[in-house]
Amino acid sequence: MEEIMKEAAEEIKEETAAAPEAKEEEAKQEAVPPTEEAREPEKAEEAATEASETAKEEKAAPETKEPSKTEEIGTTETMEDYSKELEASFRVIKEGDVLSGSVIDVNEQGVTLDLNYYASGVIKAEDMSKDPSFSILQDVHVGDVIEAVVVKKDDGAGNIQLSKVEAADVIGWDKVQKYMDDKTVVTVKVSETVNKGVVAFLEGIRAFIPASHLSLSYVEDLSTFVGKELEVHVITVEKGKKKLVLSAKEVLKEKEKENLNHRIAMVAPGSVLEGKVETIMPYGAFVDLGDGLSGLVHVSQISQKRIKTPSEVLNVGDTVKVKVLNTKDNKISLSMKAVAETAETDDVVDEKTAAKYSSRESIGTSLGDLLKGIKL
């Protein structure tokens, strides 16, 4: 019995001693990191999990779209327009103010304007112009910009009543004064004839055009100008006397001068022309070259001889040949003497050439005569 008990005790002792060694071996095995092959299933599982979570997050997050440049510009313009309209709506408009607006409707009764305000502007037909030739349907168009004076802030229909006729006294005189100061060419329409001239309207103001300022030449029948449009300069402005004078002649003279200068520029210095003596002065003679052009032959350029006055050798109506010396300052300088000198030079050249050939001919003849007496 005792032996059995000893054997049992020894087995228990051996098992107890072996247990720590087994635990230590297991711990070592757990401490060794798994190989790459062993971790591949784990990596695949982790990647699948991450992809699934990312997809869920993207699906859950709302889409954000950046506004395009066009949308940004459109928004900005809308805000600017709104700001302008808002600012305009707060304007305080009083009777007597001058307002500017675009025509949005025209009919026989009057004109409607867009004033960039919460209320529209209206001008009755009789308040548009004093010009008897004025036609509201023909002379006013949608889109035209009109300046007018406030007559009533409310015409009873929620519109601002305006008058273009009254605006002439407020701003018209300032405009015509500026036209005169700047020498601006403006277009007017002749409405009627009066004593010694015609009438036209400029900036709503009645203006007078004298008969002597209608054309470069004398006008016999003034009625031929009624209804015509003329380009004019403002030559007189007297607001206190309500006097406004225009001139079409001044504009015509400017155009004629420009045309003349252009034609003068086309005349080539050195060219020889033919013309007629039209005027004789102590200092020279003016020669008509045709096409509205004339030039001066100074007394020193008339003859190779010394003369005191052009009338010694020239008469009005004489046809002469002249050489263009220059066109300085848009004036044509001519010379008859230069033509004569050129002709003399040409004559000398011709004589020398003829003598040269004549000499050759005589030499040839002499040699021939000499050879005739020689016997071979």
CB atoms within 10 A of CB 200: 27
CB atoms within 10 A of CB 189: 16
Name the token pair of 216.
């470069």
Confidence of residue 357 (pLDDT cuts 50, 70, 90): very low
pLDDT in the model for residue 252: 95
For residue 338, pLDDT beyond 70: yes
Confidence of residue 81 (pLDDT cuts 50, 70, 90): low
pLDDT in the model for residue 134: 87
For residue 69, pLDDT beyond 90: no
Q: How many helices (H) and strands (E) does the chain have?
A: 8, 15
The secondary structure of 306-323 as a DSSP string is: --SSGGGT--TT-EEEEE
Per DSSP, helices labelled H in 216-283 are: 249-265
Beta bridge partners of 68: none
For residue 366, pLDDT beyond 50: no
CB atoms within 10 A of CB 289: 20
Residues in the chain: 376
Determine contact, residues 183/173, Cβ cutoff 8 Å. no
Q: What letter represents residue 195's amino acid?
A: N
Confidence of residue 292 (pLDDT cuts 50, 70, 90): confident
For residue 370, pLDDT beyond 50: no
Looking at per-residue pLDDT, the higher value among 284 and 360 belongs to 284
Q: Is 252 helix (H, G, I), strand (E, B) or coil?
A: helix
Confidence of residue 130 (pLDDT cuts 50, 70, 90): confident
Which tens digits make up the pLDDT trace of 37-46? Answer: 445 555 555 5
Distance of CA 86 to the CA centre of its chain: 33
For residue 348, pLDDT beyond 50: no
Which tens digits make up the pLDDT trace of 170-228? Answer: 889 999 999 999 999 999 999 999 999 999 999 999 999 999 999 999 999 999 999 99
Taken in order of first residue, the domains within the chain and their CATH numbers are 93-169 (2.40.50.140), 183-255 (2.40.50.140), 267-340 (2.40.50.140)
CA distances from 86 to 81, 93, 106, 258 (A): 8, 15, 27, 52
* Whole-number Å distance between alpha carbons of 248 and 256: 12
Confidence of residue 133 (pLDDT cuts 50, 70, 90): confident
Q: At 17, which helix (H) or strand (E)?
A: helix 2-31
Mean pLDDT over residues 359-372, rounded?
45
For residue 356, pLDDT beyond 60: no
pLDDT in the model for residue 70: 45
pLDDT in the model for residue 212: 95
* Whole-number Å distance between alpha carbons of 30 and 42: 17
Determine contact, residues 115/99, Cβ cutoff 8 Å. yes
* Whole-number Å distance between alpha carbons of 105 and 111: 6
Locate the DSSP E strands across 203-242.
205-210, 229-238
Q: Report the range of poorest mean pLDDT among 48-62, 93-107, 207-221, 309-323.
A: 48-62
Q: Is 330 helix (H, G, I), strand (E, B) or coil?
A: helix
pLDDT in the model for residue 251: 96
Confidence of residue 11 (pLDDT cuts 50, 70, 90): low
Looking at per-residue pLDDT, the higher value among 105 and 72 belongs to 105
pLDDT in the model for residue 32: 47
Q: Which of 167, 170, 164, 106 is nearest to 140 (CA)?
A: 106
pLDDT in the model for residue 82: 60
Task: State pTM to two decimals.
Answer: 0.56
Looking at per-residue pLDDT, the higher value among 66 and 281 belongs to 281
Confidence of residue 27 (pLDDT cuts 50, 70, 90): very low
pLDDT in the model for residue 246: 97
pLDDT in the model for residue 353: 46
